[in-house]
Chains A and B, each alone.
Chain A
Amino acid sequence: DQQVKQNSPSLSVQEGRISILNCDYTNSMFDYFLWYKKYPAEGPTFLISISSIKDKNEDGRFTVFLNKSAKHLSLHIVPSQPGDSAVYFCAASEDNAGNMLTFGGGTRLMVKP
Chain B
Amino acid sequence: NAGVMQNPRHLVRRRGQEARLRCSPMKGHSHVYWYRQLPEEGLKFMVYLQKENIIDESGMPKERFSAEFPKEGPSILRIQQVVRGDSAAYFCASSPTSGGADEQFFGPGTRLTVL
**Interface of A toward B, CB cutoff 8 Å:** 4, 6, 32, 34, 36, 41-46, 49, 89, 91, 93, 95-106
Contacts and interface: CB of A to CB of B under 8 A. Distances in A.
8 contacts: A4-B42, A32-B100, A32-B102, A42-B109, A43-B107, A49-B101, A98-B100, A104-B42
Contacts of B58: 100
Nearest first, the 9 closest Cβ-Cβ pairs linking A and B are A43-B106, A103-B42, A100-B45, A93-B101, A96-B100, A105-B42, A103-B43, A49-B102, A98-B99
Interface size class on chain B is: 20 to 34
B74 interface: no
> What's the dominant secondary structure at chain A's contact region?
loop
A89 B91 CA distance: 14
Interface string B73-115: 0000000000000000001010100111111111111000000
Contact of B101 (A4, A43, A99): A99
Interface string B7-30: 000000000000000000000000
B72 interface: no
Interface in B35-80: 35, 40-45, 48, 56, 58-59
B45 to A, nearest CB: 4
Contacts of B35: 101, 103
Given A44-B43, A89-B42, A103-B42, 12 more contacts: A6-B42, A32-B100, A32-B101, A42-B109, A43-B109, A46-B105, A89-B43, A98-B101, A100-B58, A101-B35, A103-B35, A103-B44
A97 B95 CA distance: 10
